[in-house]
Amino acid sequence: MSKTEKKRALTEDRLREFLREMLLIRRFEEKVEERFRAGELPGFLHVAIGQEAVAVGACAAMADGDVFGSTHRAHGHTLARGTHPNAVMAELYGKMEGCSHGYGGSMHLYDVERGNLGANAVVGGGIPAMVGAGLAFSMRDEPRVAIAFFGDGATNTGTFHESLNLAQLWKTRTVFICENNTWAESTPGWQHSPVWDDMSKRAVAFDMHSIKVNGQDVEEVFEKTSEALEYARSGAGPVFLDVETFRMHGHYIGDPQVYRGKEDRDEAAERDPIVRLREILQVTSEEWAALEAEVKEIVDVSVEFAKNGTDPQPEDALKNIYA
């Protein structure tokens, strides 16, 4: 068997689709950085540049009816699960056409129709709800899974430990996806966790099935997440995915990263998941140019859409408080 014939779980077309999605997220977030610096976007924002393969691979593995909760770094997860770029961008501009109708913003992207139960700005705060959603699925014996995305820093919160314990105890249909980019804001993993370079040890304490994943390899993310989802869906119990990934940019947009050495940044840049996949697929420069053009158009349209969106009335601030 020659190299190019290496057996794959995924067709080349599917991988090309992943590449397109990853590039869309990358260009979308670069545009967000640009528009933020131009002073057009309120609030404060976090991009996941370098972590696109995790979002795309994991979200592609989910099935209709699955739900997930995200974090402050949520643009990628949201786009990868199929929320229209227009709706995400409009949310960042605080418009009513946004996926949270202007009530959420970058750190609170929701799209309940697509199973997005919300991005959370309290580190660790969104994890327990995915145990509860997974519990509801177990109690009703529905073949659905609740997925909690969180970072390495979140594994130091009480909610994380209580949640893993409860999920394993009750065998809830939950998958925990730890995106270990080795940074919690400015704090490196070695300063915040005794097991920062092997987060799967966290799962051991709860006797939970865990899987190590190279988060820069979208195919591997897809495969391992699929395996985890299948396991959880069957009712066998929750799964912990220990995903190694890299944060190529600052913690927030505008972060000068005074705390971070050149070596670490270079390493992250070298592990760019998009470059990697492009090489594997041997995308020609013409194909690449076409892809870039297609993605740029989508992103530019989303900005136009968002700018032309409807501003909420000030009094709308008093709506949606109670059901």
Question: Which of other proteins, ligand TPP, Mg ion, none interacts with 321 (beta carbon under 5 to 8 A by kind)?
Answer: other proteins
Q: How far is the CB of 129 from Mg ion (least distance, A)?
A: 20
Give the whole-angstrom CA distance, residue 49 versus residue 105. 19
How many angstroms separate the CA atoms of 294 and 288, rounded? Answer: 10
Q: Which of 152, 217, 223, 244 binds Mg ion (CB under 5 A)?
A: 152
Contact call for residue 199 and other proteins (CB under 8 A): no
Q: Is 59 in the site for ligand TPP (CB under 6 A)?
A: no
Tokens of 112: 């309940």
Binding residues for ligand TPP, rule CB under 6 A, total 17
Does residue 77 bind ligand TPP (CB under 6 A)? no
The nearer residue to other proteins, 133 or 274, going by C-beta atoms, is 133
Residue number with CB closer to ligand TPP (97 or 242): 242
Nearest distance, CB of residue 238 and ligand TPP, angstroms: 19
Does 72 bind ligand TPP (CB under 6 A)? Our answer is: yes
| Chosen residue from 99, 166, 184, 213 binding ligand TPP by CB under 6 A | 184
Cβ-based burial of 112 (10 A; exposed 0-12, middle 13-18, buried ≥19): exposed
Single out the residue of 227, 244, 120, 115 nearest to residue 178, CA to CA: 244
Range 294-299 contact pairs with CB under 8 angstroms and sequence separation of 24 or more: 294/20, 295/20, 295/23, 295/24, 295/27, 296/27, 298/24, 298/85, 299/24, 299/27, 299/28, 299/31, 299/85
Contact between 181 and 251 (Cβ < 8 Å): no
- According to the binding rule CB under 6 A, does residue 154 interact with ligand TPP? yes
DSSP secondary structure code for residue 267 in this structure: H
* Single residue of 35, 46, 73, 108 touching other proteins by CB under 8 A: 108
Site string for other proteins, 65-104 (x = CB under 8 A): --x------------------------------x-xxxxx
- Say if strands 187-188 and 209-214 run parallel, antiparallel, or are unpaired: unpaired
**Out of 128, 215, 250, 309, the residue judged to bind other proteins by CB under 8 A:** 128
Which residue is it, tokens 């927030």? 252
Distance, CA of 43 to CA of 75 (rounded, Å): 14
* Residue 149 binds to ligand TPP (criterion: CB under 6 A): no
Which residues make up the interface to ligand TPP (CB under 6 A)?
71-73, 121-123, 150-154, 181, 183-185, 247, 251
